[in-house]
Structure 1
Amino acid sequence: MMRNVNLKNNLNVNIRKVTTDDAQNMIDFYNVVGGESDFLSFGANEFKRDLLEYKDYITTTSKELNSIMLIAEIDSKIIGIATINSSQKERTKHVGTLGIVVSETYTGLGLGKVLMNELLEWARLNGITKKISLVTNENNAKAIELYKKLGFEEEGLLKLDNYIKGTYQNTVVMGLLL
């Protein structure tokens, strides 16, 4: 699966499924963007993953019919990662947990929305997923606005479950029934 999309500013972006060859670049990317945003669950250089373990994780995830990992790249450089991870347990395999990270340099160009739509379209067609869940910092207004536009509803608030730059902050839990 590979798609080319044009973002604002006429940037041409490749969106494709992750392979094990991407593992190190993904780890590096997460460690950089962790320092760019206060809205992720980790900070700069806090995405500590062993390369071989992460390659195994990619291999396992790619075999799951209800999980997907996508990369957005320009000239083979990762600028975004979009995932839906799902349990393989019978009772909860219909729920996918969505995560999207876009490099700060490329925010505001519509990439988040493109990646969201890719994931949601895939989820609607995979024959298993019936619900998408996500969590985000309650101060992440742009993301919450996008999620609501796409049909997500707020399902709950996790109080003071994040500690960012000296303050405790709340996390919003959101869901979309497909």
Structure 2
Amino acid sequence: MKKSHLKDNHEVMIKEATKENAQQMIEFYNIVGGETDFLSFGKNEFNRNIEEYKEFIESTRQEHNSTILLAILQEEIIGIASINSSQKQRMKHVGTLGIVVSEEHIGQGIGRKLMEQLIHWASSNGITKKISLVTREDNNHAIELYEKLGFEKEGMLKKDSFINGSYYNTFVMALFL
């Protein structure tokens, strides 16, 4: 667990997710899905069975090349960031990063803090050599942060998502450790 401060000086705890956080995580994802079109799911589309999700969280905790971090402000999740990796020998060096911050807390520095902690964790786990992520081509705020942290664009997936009647391209980005 790590204490950190937002730009507005509120204290945030960053900690690894446990199965006890499962219900709150599902609820968070279902809310933030309605706050932005930059996620792969919309409002109330993060449909997970609570027991299966608890198992997923616990199995992720057991993997040496995967982790889920929570940013918590006054006992409320305000951000979730993860690196999930294959357990297959040929692919276990690549971690796929996902991050979401609640709309109310965007611009307060929590995304950067979560990313920095994930990068530090990946650099020191002895397995991860590449962190990969995908983001919509027009998600300029996120792309700017990723590039500041050393990520580079590897390619583009054309018409990769369809939202409100429009197709969007997706950048594939990576950080080599």
Q: 2:96 maps to which residue?
A: 97
Q: Post-superposition shift, 1:7?
A: 1.0
| Mapping 1:162-173, distance limit 5 Å | 162-173=161-172
Cα distance in 2 between the residues matched to 1:48 and 1:84 = 20
Aligned length: 177
Q: Alignment partner of 2:8: what SS?
A: helix
Q: Alignment partner of 1:8: what SS?
A: coil
| Mapping 1:16-165, distance limit 5 Å | 16-165=15-164
Q: Deviations over 1:97-153 (max 9, x none)?
A: 001100000000111100000000000000000000000011100100111111111
**Aligned AA (2:51):** L
Cα distance in 1 between the residues matched to 2:161 and 2:114 = 25
- Percent identity of equivalent pairs: 60
Q: What TM-score results when the alignment is normalised by the length of structure 2?
A: 0.99
Q: Post-superposition shift, 1:164?
A: 1.1
Q: Deviations over 1:1-52 (max 9, x none)?
A: x011011011110000001000000000000000001100000000010000
Cα distance in 2 between the residues matched to 1:28 and 1:127 = 33
Cα distance in 2 between the residues matched to 1:115 and 1:160 = 29
Cα distance in 1 between the residues matched to 2:147 and 2:73 = 28
Structure 1: segments with no counterpart, 5+ residues: none
Once superposed, what is the RMSD of the aligned Cα atoms?
Answer: 0.5
Q: Which moved more, 1:86-95 or 1:156-165?
A: 156-165
Q: Post-superposition shift, 1:74?
A: 0.8
Cα distance in 2 between the residues matched to 1:73 and 1:91 = 35
Q: Alignment partner of 2:79: what SS?
A: strand
Q: Post-superposition shift, 1:161?
A: 1.1
Cα distance in 2 between the residues matched to 1:4 and 1:167 = 41
Cα distance in 2 between the residues matched to 1:74 and 1:176 = 28
**Aligned AA (1:12):** E
